[in-house]
């Protein structure tokens, strides 16, 4: 196995980076790509006898890879990490993206442990009610998609991947067996005219919202799609940071934020605040990640309208269990930090690569 890891220690700080391939429970397909393995990058930061862990699943769609992400993290000078509670400094240290995301999560985990509280409590969000999360139905043969919907009939919300030939018929078949909330995600799979036509056909199925119906970078066309359907449109591939949120005002009904895109919790909080100020709905999404990233996401979902943080449920085995799931309801583990059980050897049931 090829293990990419690095360690460095300066003035009390230690930084360790490693890549890990996490096997999925089943093939995961969206409109543009499929995965059978999630190739993730983890980072541990250590300071004064305490340790924090972070994770990210780099996305090639954004020009990122596990190797480039690990390389960027390994290039971080530990002495530049500064005071362990100066969490804002990471916004100046790295650009938004997967490397900053992993380090940001680890820094929050560490700071909360130093303070003896959970990450949510560190952020002033302790005790808030958490929204339920959707569970994803990836693209597959229609019978398989319907069977998955049946399996999760006791969950309050499903997110169905669309953007393929026959998606209207597939959704009709799922709606016939699933009475709960359905949201859809086209992952840029339609042209603008296709999007308007199909969304109008889907309106009769009581769809909560649709994510990124067309390719990113076409804001005028995206505005036209939003105006052409009664289904609320949420941007995903078109939004990463707070500045992106600002330019989407008047274009879409809401935004789907992800820690990988924002570069972690600090910028996610800014983006959420920007969306609220602009009257946009907010979803917090996820990638194919373990409990490390999912627990970080769950620590701030009390601030958003919709949650889609089912990453660990899509893995064959979660090496770092954290947030718990019960029919769509999520429960944070007790602190301090993220509450992740990490023995520090990177071998808790998964397999590094």
CATH for the stretch 135-331? 3.20.20.120
For range 65-94, the mean pLDDT: 96
CA–CA distance, 68 with 59 (Å, rounded to integer): 11
For range 95-101, the mean pLDDT: 97
Three-point CA angle 108, 110, 116, nearest 5°: 100
What tens digit of pLDDT does each residue of 21-73 get?
A: 999 999 999 988 899 999 999 999 999 889 999 999 999 988 999 999 999 99
SS3 183: strand
Domain ranges of the chain: 5-123+345-352, 135-331
Residue 281: which of 236, 325, 237 has the closest Cα? 236
Predicted pLDDT at 205: 97
**256 pLDDT more than 50:** yes
Predicted pLDDT at 123: 98
Predicted pLDDT at 2: 35
What tens digit of pLDDT does each residue of 198-228 get?
A: 999 999 999 999 999 999 999 999 999 999 9
Predicted pLDDT at 345: 55
Task: Work out the percent of the chain whose per-residue pLDDT is above 70.
Answer: 94
CB 146 within 8 A of CB 174: yes
**171 pLDDT more than 80:** yes
What tens digit of pLDDT does each residue of 341-350 get?
A: 776 555 433 3
Average pLDDT of the residues of the chain? 93
Predicted pLDDT at 349: 35
The residues, ordered by sequence, that sit 6+ positions from 27 with a Cβ below 8 Å of its Cβ are 34, 35, 36, 138, 140
The residues, ordered by sequence, that sit 6+ positions from 347 with a Cβ below 8 Å of its Cβ are 319
CATH domain 5-123+345-352 topology:
Enolase-like; domain 1 (3.30.390)
């Amino acid at each position: 196995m090829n293990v990419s890891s690095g360690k460095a220690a300066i003035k009390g700080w230690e930084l360790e980076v490693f890549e890990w391939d996490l096997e999925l429970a089943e093939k995961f397909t969206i409109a543009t790509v499929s995965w059978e393995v999630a190739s993730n990058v983890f980072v541990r930061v250590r300071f004064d006898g305490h340790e924090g862990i972070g994770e990210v699943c780099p996305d090639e769609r954004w020009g990122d890879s596990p190797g480039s992400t690990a390389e960027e993290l390994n290039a971080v000078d530990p002495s530049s990490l500064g005071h362990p509670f100066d969490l804002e400094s990471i916004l100046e240290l790295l650009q938004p993206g997967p490397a900053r995301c992993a380090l940001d999560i680890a820094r929050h985990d560490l700071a909360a442990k130093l303070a003896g509280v959970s990450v949510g409590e560190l952020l002033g969000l302790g005790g808030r009610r958490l929204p339920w999360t959707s569970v994803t139905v990836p693209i597959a043969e229609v019978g398989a998609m319907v069977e998955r919907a049946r399996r999760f009939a006791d969950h309050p919300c499903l997110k169905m991947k669309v953007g393929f030939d026959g998606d209207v018929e597939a959704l009709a078949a799922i709606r016939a067996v699933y009475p709960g909330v359905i949201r859809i995600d086209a992952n840029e799979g339609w042209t603008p005219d296709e999007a308007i036509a199909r969304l109008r056909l889907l309106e009769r199925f009581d769809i909560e919202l649709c994510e990124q119906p067309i390719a990113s970078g076409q804001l005028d066309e995206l505005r036209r799609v939003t105006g052409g359907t009664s289904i609320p449109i949420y941007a995903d591939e078109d939004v990463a940071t707070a500045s992106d949120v600002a330019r989407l005002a008047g274009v879409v009904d809401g935004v789907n934020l992800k820690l990988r895109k924002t570069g972690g919790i600090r910028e996610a909080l800014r983006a959420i605040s920007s969306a609220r100020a602009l009257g946009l709905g907010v979803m917090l999404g996820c990638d194919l990640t373990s409990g490390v990233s999912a627990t970080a996401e769950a620590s701030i979902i009390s601030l958003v309208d919709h949650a889609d943080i089912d990453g660990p449920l899509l893995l064959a085995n979660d090496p770092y269990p954290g947030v718990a799931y019960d029919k769509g309801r999520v429960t944070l583990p007790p602190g301090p930090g993220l509450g992740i059980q990490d023995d520090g050897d990177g071998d808790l049931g998964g397999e590094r690569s």
